[in-house]
């Protein structure tokens, strides 16, 4: 049996932690410049690195039934959670009308629909030479900023903006990741992280919404050429920060390594905690720097909780459309009850 690569499980767990943590601290970016700076630093790499890893693991594109498998894995859970979040928001925000908009992804659900499209795009792009495909993906990523209506519709803007990361990840090999797994690379990465943090801190007016990749140049207040130049800059920054992130990821197995296998569960479920938190009075309590440490702890605990077997067992039917883990759980409980008789 082939052993799992702990490096990638560690990377995925750390990234999903930053997703949760980043969403938590968004409530405080207007109140604390250090938090605002940290927020922008996180957004330079956490989703870009996730997207690159997703491309790296998409190498089975030529397998029979691959797209059908991904449609089942991504589109059906997407539609289910569009409905679930629509119901959740209806009651949480006391909306007067209930509406389901399947073509406008709720908040973080954009990633599922974009991930499906990226896999579809691969069918065409693998027919091109890698360098030509990558150049074309960047051209499309820059050009989509000139179109305004794609910002929310089917997550099309993000789909095109982030596709170069996915495509480059697809063409990467393990040997490429090995290049950054050295002590010198780690030291350099820490230095770069520090410089980028200081840079954002010294220039706080940098619009963090560029990091979302979801808005047109017009919506971001820029013309086409300046907008393309800024987006190109953030492409370069993201690749630099992705390098820094992977240089810092540990290679050995740790207590959290196993949770890296369940990042989709955390991604889909953590939004309920975030929205409840933002809608409550809790953000007013977490105002002191000491309280921010609690947010780190809470983010970590939520990430671990949503990666746990008990949560996975009960939510697997709506996320993976199967109940194997739930059956195993009930089977263990049944055996335990019989043993204790």
Q: How many domains does the chain have?
A: 1
Mean pLDDT is lowest, of 17-21, 85-89, 94-98, for 94-98
> 327 lies in a domain?
no
pLDDT of residue 334: 72
Q: What residues contact residue 113 under an 8 Å CB cut-off, 6+ apart? A: 74, 75, 78, 105, 154, 155, 159
Res. 329: pLDDT tops 90:
no
Question: Of 312, 305, 303, 311, whose CA–CA distance to 17 is shortest?
Answer: 303
Decide: helix, strand or coil at residue 180.
coil
Question: Of 297, 280, 214, 306, whose CA–CA distance to 21 is shortest?
Answer: 297
What share of the chain has pLDDT > 90, as a percent?
A: 74
Q: What residues contact residue 98 under an 8 Å CB cut-off, 6+ apart? A: 86, 87, 90
- Average model confidence (pLDDT) for the chain? 92
Which two three-digit tokens encode residue 114?
């974009």
> 160 lies in a domain?
yes
| Residue 138, CA distances (Å) to 160, 162, 170 in order | 8, 9, 15
pLDDT in tens, 117-157: 999 999 999 999 999 999 999 999 999 999 988 788 899 99
Domain limits for position 37? 6-260
The mean per-residue pLDDT over the stretch 198-221 comes to: 96
User: What's the pTM?
Assistant: 0.93
Res. 321: pLDDT tops 70:
yes
Which two three-digit tokens encode residue 316?
């697997």
pLDDT in tens, 274-298: 999 999 888 777 777 778 889 999 9
pLDDT in tens, 226-273: 999 999 999 999 999 999 999 999 999 999 999 999 999 999 999 999
Per-state percent for the chain, helix, strand, coil, to nearest 5: 75, 0, 25
The mean per-residue pLDDT over the stretch 197-220 comes to: 96
> 325 lies in a domain?
no
> 59 lies in a domain?
yes
> 231 lies in a domain?
yes
> 218 lies in a domain?
yes
The mean per-residue pLDDT over the stretch 38-51 comes to: 98
Res. 8: pLDDT tops 90:
yes
pLDDT tier, 194 (very low <50, low <70, confident <90, very high otherwise): very high
pLDDT of residue 2: 55
pLDDT of residue 1: 44
CB 298 within 8 A of CB 17: no
> 227 lies in a domain?
yes
Which two three-digit tokens encode residue 24?
């938590």
pLDDT tier, 3 (very low <50, low <70, confident <90, very high otherwise): low
What share of the chain has pLDDT > 70, as a percent?
A: 97
Task: Please give the backbone phi and psi of residue 303, each rounded to the nearest 5 degrees, phi first.
Answer: -60, -45
Res. 332: pLDDT tops 80:
no
CB 302 within 8 A of CB 55: no
- Is the pLDDT higher at 150 or at 318? 318
> 332 lies in a domain?
no
- Is the pLDDT higher at 9 or at 331? 9
């Amino acid at each position: 049996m082939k052993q799992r690569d702990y490096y990638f499980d560690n990377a995925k767990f750390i990234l999903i932690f930053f997703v949760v943590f980043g969403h938590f601290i968004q409530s405080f970016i207007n109140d604390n410049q250090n938090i605002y700076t940290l927020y922008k630093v996180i957004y330079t790499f956490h989703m870009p690195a996730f997207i690159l890893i997703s491309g790296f693991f998409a190498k089975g594109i030529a397998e029979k039934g691959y797209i059908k498998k991904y449609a089942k894995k991504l589109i059906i859970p997407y539609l289910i959670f569009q409905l679930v979040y629509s119901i959740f928001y209806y009651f949480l925000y006391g909306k007067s009308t209930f509406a389901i908009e399947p073509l406008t992804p709720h908040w973080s659900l954009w990633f599922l629909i974009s991930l499906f499209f990226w896999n579809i795009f691969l069918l065409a792009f693998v027919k091109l030479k890698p360098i030509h495909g990558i150049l074309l993906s960047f051209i499309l990523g820059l050009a989509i900023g000139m179109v305004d209506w794609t910002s929310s519709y089917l997550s099309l803007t993000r789909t095109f903006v982030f596709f170069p990361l996915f495509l480059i990840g697809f063409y990467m090999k393990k040997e490429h990741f090995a290049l950054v797994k050295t002590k010198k690379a780690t030291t350099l990465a820490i230095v770069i992280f520090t410089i980028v943090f200081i840079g954002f801190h010294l220039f706080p007016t940098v619009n963090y919404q560029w990091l979302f990749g979801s808005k047109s140049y017009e919506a971001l207040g820029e013309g086409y050429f300046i907008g393309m130049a800024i987006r190109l800059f953030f492409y370069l920054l993201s690749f630099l920060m992705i390098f820094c992130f992977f240089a810092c990821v540990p290679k050995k197995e740790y207590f959290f390594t196993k949770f890296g296998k369940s990042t989709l569960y955390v991604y889909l479920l953590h939004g309920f905690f975030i929205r409840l938190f933002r809608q409550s009075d809790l953000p007013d309590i977490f105002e002191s720097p000491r309280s921010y440490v609690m947010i780190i702890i809470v983010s970590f605990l939520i990430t671990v909780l949503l990666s746990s077997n008990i949560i996975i067992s009960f939510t697997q039917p709506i996320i993976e459309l199967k109940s194997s883990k739930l059956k195993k759980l009930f089977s263990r409980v049944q055996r335990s009850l019989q043993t204790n008789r």
